[in-house]
Chain A
Amino acid sequence: MTDSAEPDNPFAADVPGVDVQPATYVLFGASGDLAAKKLLPAVYNLYAEGRLPERFRLLGIGSSMPEHNFRDHMINAVRQHSRSTVVDAVLDALLERVDYIQGDFTKPALFRKLNEKLTAGDKAIGGPTRRLFYLAVAPRFFGPIAQSLHEVGLARGADPESVLMIEKPFGHDLESAIALNEEVTAAFDESHILRLDHYLGKETVQNLLVFRFANGIFEPLWNRRYIDHVQITAAEDLGTGGRAGYYDQSGAIRDVIQNHVMQLVALTAMEPPAIFDADSIRDEKEKALKSIRCVGSARGQYTAGDVDGGPVPGYLEEDGVPPTSTTDTFAALKLEVDNWRWAGTPFYIRAGKRMPRRSTEITIAFRPVPHKPFADPKVAQSIRPNLLTLSIQPNEGASLRIEAKAPGVAQELRPVRMDFLYGETFTRDTPEAYERLILDALRGDATLFTRADEVEQAWRIVDPVIDSWQKNDVPLEPYIAGTPGPPSADALIRADGRKWRRL
């Protein structure tokens, strides 16, 4: 019982993280693969853990699945893909909050019906709910759906508030990205558009800012004076993984470099934000991206080889890949960052499929010591520069390589690593990235989402590279599956007297 005239939740203070306002999660593409594998199980887990508000509804929208099939579809999806054990009573309680509409995304009738359902749903659960429109559909529907939502009063200026959430690809070049941004911002305010890049949900990526700006020892060194160069690698050991149709249209540069890797570059290169909020961080990332230009590149396509102890086919032999495809399955770029902090310190980035192992990491290579005071020339020669490596997957953590004296009477040096691992290693039952991102979207926290100007700046950097590749100024080189890319990638970095980190 409370004496207050305005009741308050007496339990909330002891249970951090339950601060989501009443919400309706409208899932376009609810009958699709992403919904079944990731999104519906994510909602179940959030609900089972009590992380969703009492006034929560899920409204699925699909074009092909009849309404009477959706309940079974959702039950099967949750049972097959939930990370936690499924409890019937919990799933039944969630299903009471679930509704579904079958309709054509391109027809106004669907959106009128959606509007009616939302109004009726709010009434049924006792008050207005914030709307999160999640578009798990092909990118060609992003603009038309946003526009249709606007036409029925569910976008800009809607009361209750509406948010649009979309996932890459955000265009296939700068021009199409600008066009897409114009389409969606015609319907929604930029601050209400959440562009999802799941790399930003990774612990190490989020920790990069903490690492830089909460430790006094790194930031003073984080500049051209002490850093020789930066390497960023996003290597996969897998092939196209059943996505040949999509992948052949994008290649490594559009699939990984333009979005995930450019976000890592921006977080590494950015200036400290004045405050730790979404727009301050995104302002600094955009400013860093604006300073970047590509000054060299290499591209490759894998041929048959060995990965993980077994033979694998070449890219052209993969199911669904046209036999004459010239799509890059490996891309390496040398970037210059034209600002006071980084001028003259290049960033080398690479991403590829069918590499020797799966590894995404940022490596900061410090400059060598200016003078080696050891009498023995062998000792002096053996000194290697310090390396700071931030691993993003599969093991999240950080590692610092330093030189140390080997025990014994001889003056012998040996590199040693100081390691710090965390993330999935340290946390039991790690929530799926989608759970975190859905929860952030429901809370209205845009920190882990990409802004339109960042997307456009990233395309501005890679577009000239793609153009030069299309003109064949940079030849497509084969590399054997299970090796770390084509010889031209080695040549790109070796020309500067440096070499890639071994994969």
Chain B
Amino acid sequence: MTTAATETRELGAKGLQWHAKGTSTDVVADVLAKLLRQADHLGGDHVSLRTMNLIVAPDPQKATAHKATAQATALHPARMIRLVEHTPDRLDADVHVRLIELGDAGMQVLVEDIVITANASRLAHATSLVAPLLARGLPTVAWLPGYDHGDTAAALAITAHVTVFDSDRDPDPARAIGFAHGTALEHPSRDLAWLRTLDWRRRISAVFSTEQAQGTLAFAPSGDVVGNVQSPAAMLLAAWIAVRANVNVTLRPGSGTEPVEAVTIAGIAIPPGSGSACSVGMLGEALDTVYSAPLGYEDALKSLDRVAIVA
């Protein structure tokens, strides 16, 4: 095992760092505790704060998960454990304890960023890799930034209180929906594709708050969603409309600018909203909802066969 650590007498912008090749997670856990004690000893007007453990699964597609997690954890301070795959048969680790500034008064918060780099066979046992590193008494969220999730994702879904994934990232919607079925219906999950439809669902609900609009459902029991017919977000919204209003819904192609571009239910056009957020922002929203299960998602997922898709 080779290790390297920065020696510092104050917790500056770079914070405290440690790196080792060929190590074990028990050693990493000890080092983390030591660095946190050292950071505390160095003092300064900072607070140690975490609201969750955030495990970031390996991303074979090299998606820009780092930016997403950095933004999300600035809103939800977390002990971040990032898993990275490499080919050598060993476990490497990087630990970084540093300060970030939260809020407009310049509150300094200590954050922990742990990177575990390991070969595929070790990552297949991701549960045992992350277990010694989790902060106790906090929810654990597993964020699956890619789409070809594999064994690591399945293992993390069992460990985590909540698994976050984005069906819309997968170029193969059938595979995405299959994964959602397999994971979301078995474990607490947040599919960003579903969260992305929230503004549309709010506006639909607002429109159908009148008896007049509700009455039209009996006379024109149909719905029409225009958007990206390859998008699970559009499919899920269409399925939700179908199951909730008990109407037939058709999903038609639009210009391709947004997952959902227009919705008409029983002849009533739903007014447009301010647009959907990108996946970077949506991770933050998913972390907002760690303690509250998404309403309607499972029913929508189970009702996808009620949507007629026009290619």
Chain A interface residues toward B at CB < 8 A: 1-2, 6-18, 22, 48-55, 84-87, 89-90, 93, 126-127, 357-359, 394-395, 399, 407, 417, 419-421, 424-428
Lowest 6 A-B CB distances belong to which pairs?
A50-B202, A14-B296, A7-B214, A50-B203, A419-B47, A1-B221
Q: Are A14 and B105 in contact (CB under 8 A)?
A: no
Q: How far is the CA of A96 from the CA of B2 in the complex (A)?
A: 68
Sample of 17 A–B contacts (CB below 8 Å): A2-B214, A8-B214, A9-B209, A9-B214, A10-B208, A10-B217, A10-B244, A11-B204, A13-B295, A13-B296, A15-B204, A15-B205, A22-B209, A54-B213, A85-B274, A421-B77, A421-B103
Q: Which of B176-229 contact A (CB under 8 A)?
A: 198-215, 217-218, 221
Q: Are A395 and B105 in contact (CB under 8 A)?
A: yes
Q: Does B59 lie at the interface of the complex (its beta carbon under 8 Å from any beta carbon of A)?
A: no
Nearest chain B CB to A204 CB, angstrom units: 12
A425 in complex: contacting residue of B102, B245, B246, B247, CB < 8 Å: B102
Q: How far is the CA of A401 from the CA of B108 in the complex (A)?
A: 17
Chain A contacts for B221, CB-based, 8 A: 1
> Across the two chains, which residue of chain A brings its CB closest to B220?
A1
Q: Does B170 lie at the interface of the complex (its beta carbon under 8 Å from any beta carbon of A)?
A: no
B209 in complex: contacting residue of A53, A357, A426, A427, CB < 8 Å: A53
A90 in complex: contacting residue of B205, B246, B273, CB < 8 Å: B273
Q: Are B211 and A11 in contact (CB under 8 A)?
A: no
Stretch at the interface among B89-97, B112-120, B281-289: B281-289
Q: Does B109 lie at the interface of the complex (its beta carbon under 8 Å from any beta carbon of A)?
A: yes
Chain A contacts for B210, CB-based, 8 A: 22, 53-55, 126-127
| SS class, residues of chain A in contact with chain B | loop
Q: Are B75 and A394 in contact (CB under 8 A)?
A: no
Nearest chain A CB to B38 CB, angstrom units: 11
A84 in complex: contacting residue of B206, B214, B274, CB < 8 Å: B274
Chain A contacts for B272, CB-based, 8 A: 87, 89-90, 93
Q: Are B274 and A10 in contact (CB under 8 A)?
A: no
How many residues of chain B are within 8 Å of chain A by beta carbon? 52
Q: Are B49 and A419 in contact (CB under 8 A)?
A: yes
Q: How far is the CA of A18 from the CA of B48 in the complex (A)?
A: 37
Chain B interface residues toward A at CB < 8 A: 37, 47-49, 51, 75-77, 102-105, 107, 109, 198-215, 217-218, 221, 240-241, 244-247, 271-275, 281, 284-285, 288, 295-296
Q: How far is the CA of A319 from the CA of B28 in the complex (A)?
A: 60
Q: How far is the CA of A431 from the CA of B245 in the complex (A)?
A: 30
Q: How far is the CA of A394 from the CA of B211 in the complex (A)?
A: 44
> Across the two chains, which residue of chain A brings its CB closest to B208?
A9
Q: Are A426 and B75 in contact (CB under 8 A)?
A: yes
> Across the two chains, which residue of chain A brings its CB closest to B206?
A50
Nearest chain B CB to A78 CB, angstrom units: 11
B271 in complex: contacting residue of A93, A358, A417, CB < 8 Å: A93
Chain A contacts for B75, CB-based, 8 A: 425-428
Q: Are A428 and B284 in contact (CB under 8 A)?
A: yes
> Across the two chains, which residue of chain B brings its CB closest to A359?
B105
Q: How far is the CA of A7 from the CA of B48 in the complex (A)?
A: 52
Q: Are B209 and A12 in contact (CB under 8 A)?
A: yes
Nearest chain B CB to A122 CB, angstrom units: 13
Nearest chain B CB to A409 CB, angstrom units: 16
Q: Are B274 and A395 in contact (CB under 8 A)?
A: no
Extra contacts, 17 of them, besides A86-B274, A127-B210, A421-B47 (Cβ < 8 A), are A1-B217, A1-B246, A1-B247, A9-B209, A10-B214, A11-B244, A18-B206, A51-B206, A87-B274, A126-B210, A127-B212, A357-B105, A358-B105, A395-B104, A395-B105, A420-B49, A426-B76
Q: Are B295 and A14 in contact (CB under 8 A)?
A: yes
> Across the two chains, which residue of chain A brings its CB closest to B297?
A14
Q: How far is the CA of A254 from the CA of B200 in the complex (A)?
A: 45
Q: How far is the CA of A9 from the CA of B285 in the complex (A)?
A: 26
Q: Are B218 and A50 in contact (CB under 8 A)?
A: no
Chain B contacts for A51, CB-based, 8 A: 202, 206
B102 in complex: contacting residue of A8, A10, A52, A421, CB < 8 Å: A421
Nearest chain B CB to A81 CB, angstrom units: 15
Q: Are B103 and A395 in contact (CB under 8 A)?
A: yes
Chain A contacts for B273, CB-based, 8 A: 48-50, 87, 90
Nearest chain B CB to A406 CB, angstrom units: 9
Nearest chain B CB to A357 CB, angstrom units: 7
Q: How far is the CA of A84 from the CA of B273 in the complex (A)?
A: 11
Most chain B CB within 10 A, of A127, A394, A421, is at A421
Q: A50-B202, A126-B210 are in contact. Are A421 and B49 (CB under 8 A)?
A: yes
Q: Are A11 and B245 in contact (CB under 8 A)?
A: yes
Nearest chain A CB to B223 CB, angstrom units: 11
Most chain A CB within 10 A, of B51, B198, B199, B203, is at B203
> Across the two chains, which residue of chain B brings its CB closest to A16?
B295
Nearest chain A CB to B197 CB, angstrom units: 10
Chain A contacts for B240, CB-based, 8 A: 14
Q: How far is the CA of A13 from the CA of B206 in the complex (A)?
A: 12
> Across the two chains, which residue of chain A brings its CB closest to B45?
A417
Q: Are B213 and A11 in contact (CB under 8 A)?
A: no
